[in-house]
Amino acid sequence: MSGHVMVFAPDPQLTVTIDQPADETEIHLHPGGQGVWQARMIKCLGTPVVLCAGLGGEIGQVLEPLLAGEGVDLRVIHRESTSGGYVHDRRNGERQEIASVPGHALSRHELDDLYNLALGEGLGAEVSILSGPGQPNLVAPDIYRRLAADLGRNGSRVIADLSGAHLAAVLDSGVSVLKVSHEELIRDGWAADDSEGELVRVAHALHANGAESVVLSRAEKPALVLIDGEVAELDMPRLEVADRRGAGDSMTAGVAAVLAQGGDVRLAVRTGAAAGALNVTRHGLGTGRPEAIAGLVDRVRLAPIGSDRQDRMTPDELAHRTTNS
Domain ranges of the chain: 5-308
pLDDT for res 260: 96
pLDDT for res 241: 54
Q: What percent of the chain has pLDDT over 70?
A: 86
pLDDT for res 234: 87
CA 251 vs. chain centroid, Å, equals 8
Give the mean pLDDT of 26-37: 94
| Rounded (5°) CA angle 171-187-218 | 85
d(CA 309, CA 235): 22
Give the DSSP letter string of 116-152. Answer: HHHHHHHHTSSEEEEEPPSSGGGS-HHHHHHHHHHHH
Q: What percent of the chain has pLDDT over 90?
A: 69
pTM of the model: 0.88
Give the confidence band of 161 by pLDDT, cuts at 50, 70, 90: very high
Closest CA to 233 of 217, 245, 219, 249: 217
CATH superfamily of 5-308: Ribokinase (3.40.1190.20)
Give the confidence band of 306 by pLDDT, cuts at 50, 70, 90: low
Instruction: Tell me the H-state helices in the chain.
Output: 34-44, 57-68, 108-123, 141-152, 164-173, 182-187, 196-208, 247-260, 265-279, 290-297, 315-323
Which one has a higher pLDDT value, 189 or 245? 189
Which one has a higher pLDDT value, 301 or 314? 301
